[in-house]
Structure 1
Amino acid sequence: MEIIKGAGEWARPAAEAASDWVEHLKSPDLSIGTYCIPAGGVDTQSPHTEDEIYVVTSGRARIVTPSGAAEVGPGAVIFVPAGEEHRFVDISEDLALLVVFGPAYGSRTDTPA
């Protein structure tokens, strides 16, 4: 067992950064981290080679994918399959996301399906 302190908690990105990603735990089968984007900020991420679950712990925004868009806020749980374009936009409140990757982030080197 491991207690992961600070996971999903808001932290302001460095002054020159648009967002902040901190990985808290990594095993071969999954990884957990926190992704923070300030209100009015820009989500600059690219599609990942791993499946991903976001849990919104604080803040408000919209998530946009090729299949549609949705308003998200605290408590929202979002699944994004490997390779799917996705972006958080219209970030109206500082956004903190607990992120779970399966398998671990960066562990797949091939191109997603």
Structure 2
Amino acid sequence: MEIIDSGRFRPGADGGAEYLEQLRVPALSFGTYSLPAGSADGQSPHREDEVYVVTQGRGRFTSGGRTVEVGPGTALFVPAMEAHRFHDIAEDLVALVFFAPAYSGVPQTGA
């Protein structure tokens, strides 16, 4: 068993979004994504399936042509290769992020 310190707001060095990986095994990786209020989420689609669980903050999320309001307790599933992003971030937002298989760090290129 591992105890993982996660879910706290940690903006990036430039004050923008920050992804901090906290666990990696071949089948799964886990981390925390912090987005300051008013920031832009510039991520690209991933090669892995992804689950977000919002633990703090408020904003909106768009994926697969659908936009929803998000806040603490919101869980979101994004299939591999689907464009998605957080936006209209009204309060500093923190989401737990689970990738399966483990995040490759390689964005989708061409479909």
TM-score by length of 1: 0.89
Q: Deviations over 1:37-92 (max 9, x none)?
A: 10000101000000000000000010012321000000000000000000101000
Gaps of 5+ in 2: none
Over the residues paired in the alignment, what is the CA RMSD in angstroms? 2.0
Name the CA distance, whole Å, in 1 between partners of 2:3 and 2:22.
10
Equivalent position of 2:90 in the other structure: 92
Whole-angstrom CA distance in 1 between matches of 2:34 and 2:108? 27
Q: Distance in 1 between matches of 2:110 and 2:24?
A: 20
Q: Identity across aligned pairs (percent)?
A: 52
> Aligned pair count?
111
Match for residue 30 of structure 1? 28
Q: Following superposition, which runs of at least 4 residues in structure 1 exceed 3 angstroms of deviation?
A: 107-113
1:110 deviates by: 8.1
Task: Give yes or no for the alignment of 1:2 onto 2:2.
Answer: yes
* Residue 42 of structure 2: aligned partner: 44
Could you list the runs of 5+ residues in structure 1 that have no partner in the other structure?
none
User: Following TM superposition, by how much is the alpha carbon of 1:107 offset from its aligned partner in structure 2, in angstroms?
Assistant: 7.4
Q: Contact 1:55–1:75 at 8 Å: present in 2 too?
A: yes
